[in-house]
Chain A
Amino acid sequence: EAGVAQSPRYKIIEKRQSVAFWCNPISGHATLYWYQQILGQGPKLLIQFQNNGVVDDSQLPKDRFSAERLKGVDSTLKIQPAKLEDSAVYLCASSPSGPSLNEQFFGPGTRLTVL
């Protein structure tokens, strides 16, 4: 089966610009996660969706970050405006039915560089 797809793979922007990332989870997976992985650190959860509803967005910087999962399938994560400290890899993951502790399947990530 196809894995989690993410695009773009790389993005370079200047600070104060806007950027959007796209994720297509594994077909049939109800739960979708966005993680931020700063260089030298482990991934940190930004937001978790169950179908098209938000389960946890407590660590999402809502003044600049937003995410949506329309129709409970694809998801987009947006940053507006970007700051230097947003430079990181943004990982999307999905898991089968939830909420539960099923294995999370990760996409390859989008590497964002903010200049």
Chain B
Amino acid sequence: AQSVTQLGSHVSVSEGALVLLRCNYSSSVPPYLFWYVQYPNQGLQLLLKYTTGATLVKGINGFEAEFKKSETSFHLTKPSAHMSDAAEYFCAVNSGYALNFGKGTSLLVTP
């Protein structure tokens, strides 16, 4: 079965600092990988996804992620954190046509 593990349930960065949220996957087939963001009391919004092709994927709000098959990783990065980036971030992998989500990483951005 396909699954993802998010390392670090809470990450704190200073405004303007690099954001790095870690995700490792386990899949018996070539995976499709996703990052979603959830703001308080809202549903999930897609940040970016990897299906095939280029391994560096750019998403919304300046986020990007790199698919590394050798490391079974799909880490999310942003060069410079903004206060508005504070939210819960979920990594997910396809399971059939639905998604298996990680437990999430809460990002705190401090002034």
Binding site for B on A (CB under 8 A): 4, 31, 33, 40-45, 48, 55-56, 91, 93, 98-101, 103-104, 106-109
Do most interface residues of chain B lie in helix, strand or loop, or is the interface mixed? Answer: strand
| Contact residues in A for B49 (Cβ distance below 8 Å) | 101, 103
| Complex partner residue of B45 from A48, A100, A106, A109, CB under 8 angstroms | A106
Given A56-B98, A101-B94, A106-B45, 4 additional A-B pairs, CB 8 A = A48-B98, A103-B49, A104-B46, A106-B44
Most chain-A CB neighbours within 10 Å: which of B44, B45, B90? Answer: B44
The chain B residue with its CB closest to the CB of A91 is: B43
| B interface residues with partner A (beta carbon < 8 Å) | 9, 32, 36, 41-46, 49, 51, 90, 92, 94-104
Given contacts A31-B97, A108-B41, contact A101 B51 (CB under 8 A): yes
